[in-house]
Amino acid sequence: MNISCIGTGYVGLVTGACLADLGHNVICCDIDGKKINTLQQGKIPFYEPSLKDVVERTVRKGKLTFTTDIQKAIENSEVIFNCVGTPSAQDGSADLQYVFAITEAVARYAQNYKVLLNKSTVPPGTARRVQHLLKEKNPHSPVDVVSNPEFLKEGSAVHDFTHPDKIVVGAQSEKAFQILREVYSGFIRPYLNLLETDWETAEILKYANNSFLATKISFINEIANICDKVGGDIKTVTKGLGMDYRINPKFLNAGVGFGGSCFPKDLRALIAAAKDQGYDAKLLQEVLSLNERQKKIILQKIEQHFGKNLQYHTFTVWGLSFKPKTDDLREAPSLVIIDLLLQRKASVCVYDSVAMDLVKAIYGGKLSYASSLEQSITESSAIILVTEWDEFRNVNFSELGKNMKEKVIFDGRNIYESDQVRKAGFIYYGM
Ligand SMILES: NC(=O)c1ccc[n+]([C@@H]2O[C@H](COP(=O)([O-])OP(=O)(O)OC[C@H]3O[C@@H](n4cnc5c(N)ncnc54)[C@H](O)[C@@H]3O)[C@@H](O)[C@H]2O)c1
């Protein structure tokens, strides 16, 4: 099929490349000329494991092309994936201006039957608004609107997209459902759940999915904080909880809180959508505010150890992206922790194998930037592990500690065995 993905970010590029790998002819279109240029030069504008291989392979076969020309993309496609961003507006609701800009372009350029899919995460009611807008701009619009939310995770996006737990399709016409079955037919295995439903159900399902995972994280953080007060080993508690098949161990690790481009903004958007209809989504509000508190708890631990005056200490922050295997810094807990340290006039040295340049662009000369794990700790008073990249898992602390001013570690993701780290002479604080 001829497909276009409008918005060539984390979701649009993965979607486009993976669909091209299935044999479809895909045009990835973005308003950002720099991004498209980068792609046309054979480079990937962000870090996502194994994406480069898929992009290279599909470009070589002539299945994937890039453009800034939205008219060309729309005119040459039977199926148009809207993959633009839906960031938080000031009041927390989803800012849909980019989604509607694409809708207007489709209304303008679609001359024959096409399917316009919202792949971006959008609040319930958006597909209906998109349909109205299409009709308003072009009363004879030949376009079917579909809600097809995406559930991939950055860091394993290609695998997630090609091995989805579920493909959710919200549509109003049998023709649209049939086309979507064709689009995804290469992925559909006997065990795959293709969930066909109405627009609003598909839209809210995505928010429910993210809200539930975020709730699990805030829940376990709450239990970890209680363990800190009353005793009890959170790792064992977590292990035991995870053994209960009704609970499942995933998204159940205590830490410095969740960040990223999705959980915080999607929770805010769902809360706002509920509020709009007069419903106070108290549980979700609490999940968010617990998460904000959680990002700061590590500073309390630092102050407990070093006192309130951090001016004469250098702290090493390991891991900056909001989670491992991505360079995405959106709402990353590391940024909150760095800001808190800088506010207290501490010196901060950071290290992350992929997100350094983006962090440099934010902080410039306010931080020092290490080019290796070893370099990051020289003269350091303490290590703060924020993002659990694999590189930080097997560290020889006995060796590393020799070059530190003080041997203290704040393990913001509980990845270390405290006994082993203590054996290497460190003072250990977990979450
Ligand atoms: N990142 C994830 O892990 C993830 C997972 C599932 C769902 N989502 C959802 O998918 C959507 C996109 O997320 P993302 O992380 O890929 O965002 P992103 O910011 O990486 O990409 C969005 C792209 O859209 C482009 N764009 C904006 N306006 C445009 C226009 N008028 N024409 C063409 N291109 C335009 C931007 O230049 C940008 O490249 C969001 O709604 C997000 O919530 C994201």
Domains of the chain: 2-197 (3.40.50.720), 198-431 (3.40.50.720)
Looking from the CA of residue 149, the nearest atom of ligand 1 is 7
Ligand 1 centroid from CA 13, angstroms: 9
Torsion of CA 62, 63, 66, 68, to 10 degrees: 110
Q: Which residues contact 285 (CB under 8 A, 6 or more apart)?
A: 271
Strands ordered across the beta sheet of 143-147: 64-67, 25-29, 2-6, 79-82, 114-118, 143-147, 166-170, 193-197
Q: How many angstroms does the Cα of residue 277 sit away from the middle of ligand 1?
A: 27
Beta-bridged to residue 362, according to DSSP, are none
Compute the distance from residue 165 Cα to the ligand 1 centre, in Å: 21
What residues contact 180, with CB distance under 8 A and at least 6 apart? 115, 117, 146, 148, 167, 169, 171
Q: Whole-angstrom Cα distance, residue 278 to residue 421?
A: 51
Q: Tally Cβ neighbours within 10 Å of residue 311.
A: 9
The dihedral region occupied by 414, where left means phi > 0, alpha psi between -120 and 50, and beta the remainder, is: left
Question: Which residue numbers in the chain have pLDDT < 50?
Answer: none
Query: Which amino acids are annotated catalytic?
Result: 262
Residue pair 381/405 in contact (Cβ under 8 Å)? The answer is yes
Residue 148 contacts residue 167 (beta carbons within 8 Å): yes
What Rg do the C-alpha atoms of the chain give, in angstroms? Answer: 23
Encode pLDDT of 262-315 as tens digits: 999 999 999 999 999 999 999 999 999 999 999 999 999 999 999 999 999 999
Give the pLDDT of residue 190.
63
Pocket test for ligand 1, best of 5, 261, 328 (most atoms within 8 A of CB): 261
Place of tokens 């950002």: 32
What confidence score (pLDDT) does residue 185 get?
A: 87
* Ligand 1 lining (C-beta closer than 6 Å): 6-12, 29-32, 35, 70, 83-86, 98, 101-102, 120-121, 150, 152, 154, 261-262
Question: Which of 352, 358, 254 lies closest to 298 in space, CA to CA?
Answer: 254
Place of tokens 């950071």: 350
Please give the pLDDT value at position 345. 97
Ligand 1 pocket, mutate which of 84, 95, 102, 120 (most atoms under 8 A from CB): 84
pTM, full prediction: 0.95
Return the number of other C-beta atoms located less than 10 Å from residue 342's C-beta.
16
Distance from C-alpha of 313 to C-alpha of 380, rounded to nearest angstrom: 7
Q: What is the pLDDT of residue 186?
A: 81
CB contact set of 153 (below 8 Å; sequence gap of 6+): 160
- The string of pLDDT tens digits covering residues 102-122 is 999 999 999 999 999 999 999
pLDDT of residue 187: 76
* pLDDT at 192 (0 to 100): 66
**Coil vs helix vs strand at 415:** coil
Query: How far is it, in rounded angstroms, from Cα 43 to Cα 55?
Result: 9
Q: What is the enclosing helix (H) or strand (E) of 220?
A: helix 199-230
Task: State the distance from the centre of ligand 1 to the C-alpha of 323, rounded, in angstroms.
Answer: 18
**Distance in angstroms (rounded) separating the CA atoms of residues 270 and 284:** 8
Pocket residue to mutate for ligand 1, from 10, 108, 331, most atoms within 8 A of Cβ: 10
Distance 366 CA to ligand 1 centre (A): 30
Give yes or no for a contact between 32 and 40, defined as CB atoms under 8 angstroms apart. Answer: no
| Nearest partner of 29 among 95, 123, 106, judged by Cα | 106
Phi then psi for residue 162, to 5 deg, are: -90, -15
